[in-house]
Structure 1
């Protein structure tokens, strides 16, 4: 599946707000350097964000981080020749520094800065109040000055919204950023460099100058998961990326991702993604032909 860079530049305004109203949404797997806040007004379908594949429906509110691949694909009946269905959504595009480079350094903006950090994986906000969705819609008719002021208030409210779900896995995000990473931590850098090879706990503990038991406890305390789970999530995230590209068979993808046999790859993939690699591939290719 080819990934496209789309132009979503905001031109001479801090943010760009528009209502998209078409027979169906753009059927292109794409990314852009701007963050995007999407509110679905009409239509249903499947939402692809990183390696997350979920259904979408009206009232859904999602924040997509910069350069995170995504696509909103309507159900098949929206593509029928005589369909009278409409796909409508409000899209707000903006840069992280839309109010200046030091904007997020202000103490008052801490929660919004944390929101943008979470958005790297994509955020689905559950049960967004009607009033907040109306505030988002009101952006479409506001003047540039009030639009910017209102948008900061919307971001603040979303940053304090307690019910949400992160979408793309951390492993997928790390695999996207692997080549550009400047991680200073030698252990994490070693994992990213060697995740598709055999990595032993003892060899990584040696890099950290710790015995294996102490390193294992320390790693779990810092990352809130075991070392083996962390490595497997990186591998599965990378495997999802290869599956989406659909250029290699599943067995090869398993080996390329660091698994030494197909059964272990299938087992770990299903454990982490709740779906088999073949079903994941079929779901992606069926929706993106």
Structure 2
């Protein structure tokens, strides 16, 4: 599946854009852009591709996609049949850069919940069971009213604020698909992530990471599990599987056996086992599912 860069540069003076897209089906392109994207599905069904996440979508879904995270919305097959389809794909999309209100706006103490939300969006977030009044705010944001640019900006901030407080959500893409930890503030975590992402394609252990960041192995293991709520080994497997997914999606001609070793696994059976455990399907099934949809 070829990955495309989409230029969503706003030709207007506005610092963010709001678009309502109502067409027989959504754009069938696997793409990315530097703007964050906030989407609400008003009508239609299909399959949502966010990083290496493949899940169905439906009316009412709200997703926040981080900067440069590849994604695609693929409607069900009957939406592409011009003779039988009477339905429309309808969605509202908001595009904005993380610094759309200035480089330091979200660094203010009062903006910490919003800053945390934008950082979590690096791997994509799907929000569940949002209240109807919040969904109505999305629709209001897209309507051509007499609302001033300041009023529209405040409304967007209220929407983001409500999402930052909503506890029923799911992170979509795996940690390994995209290195989203470049700006981690905790120095220990930053060194840990840097070591893992630089070395996960070769055999490494918790002892190796602990030594690299000058920590006792037992202390490192406790620290890591407290932060991630999983063991280092499980996290490392997620990183490797996520990286393998990226190669399966982009490197169409690369054999699965080669991808197995390139992503840090030392044998094919363990690669297949961990891949199915994490993604719920084998590497071959993952490849075929994308191939059919594209």
The alignment's TM-score, normalised by the length of structure 1, stands at 0.92
Aligned to 1:48: 49
Distance in 2 of aligned mates of 1:72 and 1:101:
31
1:160 to 159, 165, 176: 165
Residue 177 of structure 2 aligns to a residue whose secondary structure is helix
**Superposition pairs of residues 55-66 of structure 1, within 5 angstroms:** 55-66=56-67
| Residue 281 of structure 1: aligned partner | 287
Q: Tell me, what secondary structure is at the counterpart of 2:56?
A: strand
Show the counterpart of 2:265.
Answer: 259
Q: SS at the partner of 1:196? A: coil
Indicate which of 122, 133, 138 corresponds to 1:131: 133
RMSD of Structure 2 on Structure 1 (CA) = 2.0
- Residue 228 of structure 1 is matched in structure 2 by 233
Contact kept? 1:10, 1:93, Cα under 8 Å: no
Residues 50 and 69, structure 1, Cα contact 8 Å, conserved in 2: yes
Q: Secondary structure of the equivalent of 2:241?
A: helix
Q: Indicate how the Cα distance of structure 1 residues 181 and 16 shifts in structure 2: closer, same or farther if over 3 A, else same.
A: closer
Q: 1:219 to 1:160 in 2, by over 3 A?
A: closer
Residues 21-76 of structure 1 deviation map (CA, whole Å, 9 limit, x = unaligned): 11110000001111111011111000000011110111111111111100000000
Q: Describe how 1:20-39 pairs up with structure 2 within 5 A.
A: 20-39=21-40
**Any gaps of 5 or more consecutive residues in structure 1?**
none
Q: Distance in 2 between matches of 1:215 and 1:41?
A: 46
Runs of 5+ consecutive residues of structure 2 not aligned to the other structure:
none
- TM-score (norm: length of structure 2): 0.90
Q: Deviations over 1:102-124 (max 9, x none)?
A: 21122221111111011111111
Q: Which moved more, 1:199-208 or 1:126-135?
A: 199-208
Larger deviation, residues 161-170 vs 42-51: 161-170
Asked if the contact 1:32/1:68 (under 8 Å) is kept, the reply is yes
Q: CA deviation at 1:277?
A: 1.1
1:194–1:10 CA distance, 2 compared to 1 (3 A): same
Q: Would you say how many aligned residue pairs link Structure 1 and Structure 2?
A: 285
The corresponding residue for 1:244 is: 249
- Would the alpha carbon gap of residues 131 and 102 (structure 1) be closer, same or farther in structure 2, given more than 3 Å must change? same
Q: Give 1:248 shift.
A: 1.0
Q: Distance in 1 between matches of 2:207 and 2:103?
A: 43
CA distance in 1: counterparts of 2:105 and 2:257, whole angstroms: 47
